[in-house]
C-alpha cells in the first residue's frame, strides 16, 4: 500500500510546501475551459502578473463543465483566498457562488463573462463593436457583394453577439448572400465539429463563395487548413475571424494562408488588468469607482491585417 501512496503523499507535501511558505496576497484564478486558448491566455497572464507581484496564485481549470466551475469557486471560498478572478465565467449560472464570495468578503473580478451584481466588474471588449469591425472588413474585401459562408458558435455570449452583429450588417447589405452556415454546437470536440461541418459546406458550395466569416480564430485555423486542402491560395477566398494571437498573426502574414484579418482581443492585457485592478482595490484600498464606474471595464481591440500584422508578431 505504502509504495502506491508514498509518491502521492510526497507530491501533496511538495504542493503543501509551496502553499504555506508565504503569506502573501493569495489570488484564485478559475478558467472555464483551459483547452480553449483564449481562456488559457487570460488565466496564464493573470497568474504571471500575480506572481510578478509576489502573490500566491491558485489556478484552476473547470474543463468546460458547469458543476465543476461551481465547485471550484466554492472550494476557493473555503480556502479563504484574498481575491478571485474568473475567466469566461457565467454570472447567472454561478450567481449563488459569486454571491457566496461576496458574502465571504472576497473581491471578485470576471473577465469576458458578463456583469454580476456580486462581482466588482467584468473586463470586456465591446463585442458589438468587434463583431461589426470584422463583418465590415469582410464585406469591404469582397466589394459588398457575393456569396459567403459562415461558421458560428451560439453557446458563447461573445461569439453569439458577433454573429448577431454580422446578421445586422448582412441585413443592410443585400448583395452579400450567406449561402451556407454551420453552427458549432459541441464545446469539447469542437475542432472535429467545425472540420466536419465546414468541410461539407465548402464541398457543397465549391467555387460559389468569396468570403468566410468565423466567429473565433480557432475555427478559422481549421477552415484555413480545409481551404488549403482544396488547393486554394491566398486571395482566392477572404477568411476573416476574431480573437488574435501569435498563430493568427503568423497565418495573416503567411502567403499560404487564406486568413486575411482578425480583430485582436487583448486577452493577456485582460488577465493582467484583472490583477492590477485587484491590487488597487483589494490591496491598496482604492474605491472600485476609481478603476471603473460601471459593471464593465472595457478594453480596446485592434483590427489586424497584412498592413499592420508585423506590429503584433512577437520575435
Closer residue to another protein (CB): 71 or 276: 71
- C-alpha grid cell, residue 60: 484552476
DSSP state of 253: H
Closer residue to another protein (CB): 76 or 264: 76
CB of 63 to another protein, least distance (A): 6
CB of 105 to another protein, least distance (A): 14
Closer residue to another protein (CB): 13 or 287: 13
Closer residue to another protein (CB): 26 or 133: 26
Q: 124: exposed, middle or buried (C-beta count within 10 Å: 0-12, 13-18, 19+)? A: buried
**Residue listed under C-alpha cell 459588398:** 144
Q: Give the residues lining the site for another protein (CB under 8 A).
A: 1, 4-5, 7-9, 11-13, 15-16, 18-20, 34, 56, 58-61, 63, 65-68, 70-72, 74-76, 78-80, 90, 92-96, 153-155, 160, 183-188
CB of 42 to another protein, least distance (A): 14
The alpha carbon of 305 is separated from its chain's Cα centroid by a whole number of angstroms, namely 20
CB of 13 to another protein, least distance (A): 8
Please give the full DSSP string across 56-91, using - where no structure is assigned.
Answer: EEEEEE-TT-HHHHHHHHHHHHHHT-SEEEEES--T
What number of other Cβ atoms are within 10 A of residue 262's Cβ?
A: 31
CB of 141 to another protein, least distance (A): 29
Closer residue to another protein (CB): 70 or 283: 70
Q: Which residues pair with 184 in a beta bridge?
A: 153
Amino acid at each position: 500500500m505504502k509504495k502506491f501512496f508514498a509518491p502521492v503523499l510526497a507530491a501533496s507535501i511538495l504542493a503543501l510546501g509551496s502553499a504555506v511558505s508565504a503569506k502573501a496576497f493569495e489570488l484564485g484564478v478559475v478558467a472555464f475551459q483551459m483547452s480553449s486558448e483564449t481562456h488559457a491566455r487570460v488565466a496564464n497572464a493573470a497568474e504571471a502578473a500575480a506572481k510578478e507581484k509576489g502573490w500566491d496564485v491558485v489556478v484552476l481549470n473547470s474543463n468546460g463543465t458547469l458543476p465543476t466551475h461551481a465547485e471550484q469557486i466554492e472550494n476557493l471560498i473555503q480556502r479563504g483566498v484574498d481575491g478571485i478572478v474568473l475567466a469566461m465565467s457565467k454570472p447567472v449560472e454561478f450567481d449563488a457562488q459569486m454571491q457566496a464570495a461576496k458574502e465571504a468578503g472576497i473581491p471578485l473580478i470576471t473577465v469576458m463573462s458578463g456583469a454580476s451584481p456580486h462581482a466588482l466588474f467584468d473586463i470586456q471588449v465591446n463585442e458589438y463593436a468587434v463583431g461589426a469591425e470584422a463583418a465590415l472588413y469582410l464585406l469591404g474585401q469582397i466589394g459588398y457583394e457575393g456569396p459567403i459562408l459562415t461558421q458560428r458558435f451560439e453557446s458563447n455570449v461573445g461569439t453569439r453577439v458577433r454573429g448577431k452583429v454580422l446578421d445586422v450588417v448582412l441585413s443592410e447589405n443585400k448583395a452579400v448572400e450567406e449561402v451556407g452556415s454551420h453552427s458549432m454546437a459541441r464545446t469539447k470536440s469542437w475542432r472535429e465539429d467545425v472540420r466536419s461541418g465546414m468541410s461539407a459546406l465548402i464541398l457543397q458550395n465549391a467555387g460559389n463563395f468569396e468570403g468566410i466569416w468565423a466567429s473565433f480564430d480557432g475555427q478559422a485555423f481549421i477552415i484555413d487548413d480545409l481551404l488549403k486542402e482544396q488547393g486554394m491560395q491566398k486571395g482566392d477566398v477572404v477568411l476573416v475571424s476574431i480573437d488574435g494571437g501569435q498563430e493568427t498573426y503568423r497565418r495573416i502574414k503567411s502567403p499560404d494562408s487564406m486568413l486575411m484579418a482578425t480583430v485582436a482581443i487583448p486577452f493577456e492585457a485582460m488577465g493582467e488588468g484583472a490583477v492590477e485592478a485587484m491590487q488597487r482595490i483589494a490591496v491598496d484600498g482604492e474605491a472600485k469607482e476609481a478603476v471603473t464606474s460601471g459593471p464593465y471595464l472595457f478594453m480596446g481591440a485592434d483590427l489586424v491585417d497584412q498592413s499592420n500584422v508585423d506590429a503584433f508578431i512577437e520575435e
